[in-house]
Amino acid sequence: KDCIVSSNTSTIPIGLLVEDMPTDFRRRFAITHYFNPVRYMRLLELVKGKETNLDVINKLADYNDRVLGKGVVRCGDTPGFLGNRVGVYALQVGIDETLKCGLSIEEADALMGRPMGIPKTGVFGLYDLIGIDLMADVVRSLRSILPNGDAFHAVGGENEMINRMINDGFTGDKGKGGFYLTGEDNVRMARPLTGAGEPLADYRSAANSLPKSAVNAADAAAQRKEPLDAILVGNDACAKFCRRVLGRVLAYAASLIPDVTTNPQDIDDAMKLGFNWQRGPFELIDAVGQKRMLDLITEVGVDVPPILESDKPFYALSGSSLTVRQAENEYSPINLPKGVIRFHLKRKALTPILENNDASLFVLDGFAQGVNDLRLIEFHSKANALTDASMEIVAAAAKDHGSGIIVHNDAQHFSAGVDLNTFRALIEAGDWHGIDRFLWRFQDAVCKLKYTPVPVIGAPSGLAAGGGYEVLAHCDKLVVHTNSVMGLVEAGVGVVPGGGGIKETFLRWHDAKGSWDDAAWQTWMNIGYGLTGSSPQLSARLQYFRDGHDETIMNRDRLLTRAIELVGEMQEGYTAPRPPFARLANWQLHEKMDKFMKKGVDNGDFMPHDRTVAMTIAKVMLQA
């Protein structure tokens, strides 16, 4: 009688699921709709029935937050709940407007992807990823349960092209292909759209170039400007597509207030956590602006939802707190569980003490009792790739360090490493001194970070590769999200880690093995193969995560809270680390390593340049 029972359904009303069950069962029953793949997708839609005990809902919310690491959105028992209702509608609108505006699927995905803050798969790439047959079933399910008159019915009918593709086995990435296909010689192919009564078109080579407005949006984002401005202006088909998609999708999301939820944050959270949108619909409406939003609605010919009749923004500051406008047009503080900090929201109430296009430095005060005057380094370039500007902020934090430093951001990936486009430009220009100067500044910044007289905590989530990991390797401790990937991958692109990663890995392997020769061999294998750990536990096998020293957190929204607590715990009596003693390994290892690489080249396992890179890595650790 104490057992909680739940269903993962996204379509069956909770009333139908429990209608023949006893009262005691109905009080213990809820819907827990996890988004797939469950390991990576953060959203849990939690649905309470009319008779579900509130204590049951609270226990489920807390358990899923703290133990399973989910972002919990409490939903009413309405068709499609929140995520699928808006997300699937957006995909269907994307398909509909691609046909109406005469765009190719590549153009549509390029526009309805990163420029709108949506994953780069866009519409058709996401269909292929999820499975075209599964998406067709989801569309049919929503069509069967949504009320008559819902805007979904205009775009949720049977699609002849999709049905033909499914019948022929073209179900996406898991099948023979989908809208896209990898052809011979790994050439990416795309299938043109066809209308009712038309046969399936043959695949053709996919276009590699982006629409000019998508390029302009990327440039705007790199300069910390609004990317939507670049895609909404103009009279060409691309601009029309963007205006019509955003007009229809954002108006639809707004129309769900107040019948589906009274809090716009619920819908925003569902789309960010369940569909990986960078901004939710109401954050996008604020970015578009009320007047331009009304113009978009007029252009697509739909009714103005009542919530959009006010010219007030949905998100606004009240003192140092971020608030959200509710259905009754009154503002309430954003709703997050105790201990959860989403820095992309919190930063709206903060002013950086130093910033550039690639990184910012903030002061954190009042986040934990007795822990004040902290510094937070946030990377925010594309993929958080590290540049001179990024490392300028790291060096500045080491100089103006306050009472502790935290390196954190809540983007999808902590950092993909050094910006290789910048490096490539230096190589092509033959600017070897420029490369040396960049590496010296990088090394100088991370060394200063390591030896500051205050605690330094790294709090990554997602990918922390190459130079991104090298920054973390110079922190006192790490608080790592369980889905983080860490490692030094430079050898895979033909270069050698140059930001202290070899040295730090070598020292850690010595601590683990007690032998400088063993440490050199293990480090060489780690870095030469570009090995990464896809979890803290797997990273520990490579010494990129230190068991018993570093920490893991299931919910990435709790990383910053724990990092702040750790700084407080370490402050009393803290002393900066002393430069370590290290001994280079025996040069005799060079012969063993070179023999290993020569055999690999002869067998076709390695390219000749792999041997050059591997032996260069070896020389860093071997005594000549």
As a three-state string, the secondary structure of 397-419 is: HHHCCCCCEEEECCCCCCECCEC
- pLDDT-derived band of residue 516, with 50, 70 and 90 as boundaries? very high
Arithmetic mean of pLDDT, 589-618? 97
Is 383 found in the same domain as 295?
no
Single out the residue in 263, 295, 311 at which a domain terminates: 311
Residue 321 within any structural domain of the chain: no
Tokens matching residue 187: 């050439």
Give dist(CA 292, CA 311) in Å, integer. Answer: 11
* Prediction pTM value: 0.94
Q: Is residue 468 part of a domain?
A: yes
Model confidence pLDDT, tens digit, residues 211-236: 999 999 999 999 999 999 999 999 99
The answer to whether residues 16 and 151 belong to one domain is no
What was the pLDDT predicted at 264? 98
* CATH number of the domain where residue 25 is located: 3.40.50.720
Mean pLDDT of the chain: 96
Residue 510 belongs to some domain of the structure: no
What pLDDT, on the 0 to 100 scale, is given for residue 11? 82
Asked if 258 and 151 sit in the same domain, the reply is yes
Start-end of H helices in 112-211: 124-130, 132-145, 160-167
Residues 160 and 305 in one domain: yes
Are both 20 and 61 inside the same structural domain?
yes
Q: Report the 10 Å Cβ neighbour count for 202.
A: 8
Residues 547 and 432 in one domain: yes
Predicted confidence at residue 386, as pLDDT, reads 97
Burial of 319: CB neighbours in 10 Å, binned 0-12, 13-18, 19+ = exposed
Residue 577 within a domain: no
Q: How far apart are CA 422 and CA 382, in angstroms?
A: 13
Q: Where does the pLDDT of residue 2 fall: very low under 50, low under 70, confident under 90, or very high at 90 and above?
A: confident
Is the pLDDT reported for residue 437 higher than 90? Answer: yes
- Give first-to-last CA distance, the chain, whole Å: 72
In this structure, the answer to whether residues 389 and 409 fall within a common structural domain is yes
Does 219 share its domain with 276?
Answer: yes
Q: Give the pLDDT score at 111.
A: 98
User: 59, 75, 91: which is the final residue of a domain?
Assistant: 75
- The answer on 246 and 169 residing in a single domain is yes
62 domain residue, yes or no: yes
CATH code assigned at 154: 1.10.1040.50
Domain boundary among 52, 75, 98: 75
Least confident of 84-88, 96-100, 138-142, 368-372: 368-372
Side-chain half-sphere of 510: how many Cα atoms within 13 Å? 17
Whether residue 90 is found in the same domain as residue 226: yes
Residue 615, exposed/middle/buried by CB under 10 A (0-12, 13-18, 19+)? middle
Burial class, 53, CB count within 10 angstroms (exposed 0-12 / middle 13-18 / buried 19+): middle
Tokens of 622: 């071997």
Q: Which domain holds residue 16?
A: 5-75
Per-residue pLDDT band at 360 (split at 50, 70, 90)? very high
Residue 496 lies in a domain: no
Domain-embedded: residue 170: yes
- The per-residue pLDDT for range 554-586, each reduced to its tens digit, is 999 999 999 999 999 999 999 999 999 999 999
Domain identity same for 97 and 196: yes
Number of folded domains that form the chain? 4
One domain, residues 445 and 467: yes
Report if residue 318 sits inside a domain. Answer: no
CATH of residue 464: 3.90.226.10
